[in-house]
A and B are shown apart, each in its own frame.
Chain A
């Protein structure tokens, strides 16, 4: 049973660039949530997708956007990258609504220089 997968594992970008991170949910799950984890902090909720729609959003600017595909996989896009966007980006999948029991992928480490 495949767990949550994310790609790429690591990424280095320059300020002002754009980045796309990808997530495939655990088999049987239909909801994807994205979190940002800065060094030494707990993960912070970015947004959640269900039925290809953004259902809830955390306190992140519009530079952060996402998409969910019919196969439930998801993308996180960040535009106009800032140094402060450097973090571990975690994807979590779950089943149905509400989706509290969330299972996390290994994350994508984004470094902005």
Chain B
């Protein structure tokens, strides 16, 4: 059975701090790994990682995939209160049609 574990489950920081969120996975026929940010309802797409060791960056957010270790990290530098959200990791695998298996998520709270 496919398995995704995110850590920590929750994190409380102050504005300006840097955070690292972890995702470990065991997924049949792994294809790529996606990160989403969920604030109220709809998860918002952040990154899709397919190649190992290549960092993807968007503003203060960056992410990297390690296929050997079956893991990925999401870094957020200089955190802001607007970064408070649930961050979801979702490896894609299964058949060729694309099934995302989500972790439980990391709840990030950024205090002013």
Q: Contact mask B86-100 → A, CB, 8 Å, 1/0?
A: 001010101111111
The answer on a CB contact under 8 Å between B32 and A100 is yes
The answer on a CB contact under 8 Å between B34 and A100 is yes
Chain A residue contacts of B44, Cβ below 8 A = 104
The residue of chain B having its C-beta at the shortest distance from the C-beta of A37 within the complex is B102
Give the interface size bracket for A toward B.
20 to 34
Q: Contact mask B74-112 → A, CB, 8 Å, 1/0?
A: 000000000000001010101111111111110000000
| Least Cβ–Cβ distance between A105 and chain B, in angstroms | 6
Given contacts A104-B43, A105-B42, 17 further A-B contacts (CB under 8 A): A33-B100, A35-B100, A35-B102, A42-B4, A42-B102, A43-B43, A43-B100, A43-B102, A55-B97, A56-B98, A58-B99, A88-B41, A92-B100, A94-B98, A100-B98, A104-B44, A107-B42
> Using a CB–CB distance below 8 Å, which chain B residues touch chain A?
4, 31-32, 34, 36, 41-45, 48, 88, 90, 92, 94-105
